[in-house]
């Protein structure tokens, strides 16, 4: 079940600010990736229209998320705990800095997808910090999973 200990951060934000989130898994029965790839038709009218049949599942990603205000120095951070279906966790803290996030995204590795998404959010929006604790994943992550960092589906 969910972790019972209160979430803490270096900013000392109260856990009462946390939001529970559930992202269901999906099964693509037909047309893998056509749900997002159809957007390419805007720039290339020669692409034929695709179809997709997707079913949601009751398995998925369970997390608690909350805002972390910028520090006195003006810096913001993205703190992530990511768990897989076997309960193994990995965690990182990323500085919300466009140059640093882009470098991590381009370098590849487990957190590159998370850094790339954070980079896009940062350059297009005014943001503070965020803590995401993916405390439980009961969705089997198999071949074809879009990222080894499922937390960013949130």
Which DSSP letter does residue 19 get? E
Contacts of 44 (CB under 8 A, 6+ apart): none
Rounded Cα–Cα distance for residues 93 and 97 (Å): 12
How many CB atoms sit inside 10 A of residue 64's CB? 19
Q: Is 140 helix (H, G, I), strand (E, B) or coil?
A: coil
Report pTM: 0.70
Q: Which residues pair with 83 in a beta bridge?
A: 89
- pLDDT tens track for 54-106: 788 888 889 999 999 999 999 999 999 998 888 899 999 999 999 999 999 99
């Amino acid at each position: 079940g969910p972790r019972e200990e209160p979430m803490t951060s270096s900013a000392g934000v109260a856990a009462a600010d946390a939001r529970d989130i559930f992202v269901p898994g999906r099964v693509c029965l037909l047309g893998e990736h056509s749900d997002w790839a159809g957007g390419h038709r805007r720039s290339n009218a020669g692409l034929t229209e695709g179809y997709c049949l997707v079913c949601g599942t009751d398995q998925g990603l369970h997390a608690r998320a909350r805002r972390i205000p910028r520090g006195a120095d003006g810096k913001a951070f993205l703190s992530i705990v990511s768990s897989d279906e076997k309960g193994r966790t990995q965690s990182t803290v990323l500085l919300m800095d466009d140059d640093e996030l882009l470098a991590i995204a381009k370098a590849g590795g487990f957190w590159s997808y998370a850094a790339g998404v954070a980079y896009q959010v940062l350059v297009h929006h005014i943001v503070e910090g965020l803590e995401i604790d993916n405390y439980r994943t009961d969705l089997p992550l198999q071949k074809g999973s879009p990222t080894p960092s499922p937390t960013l589906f949130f």
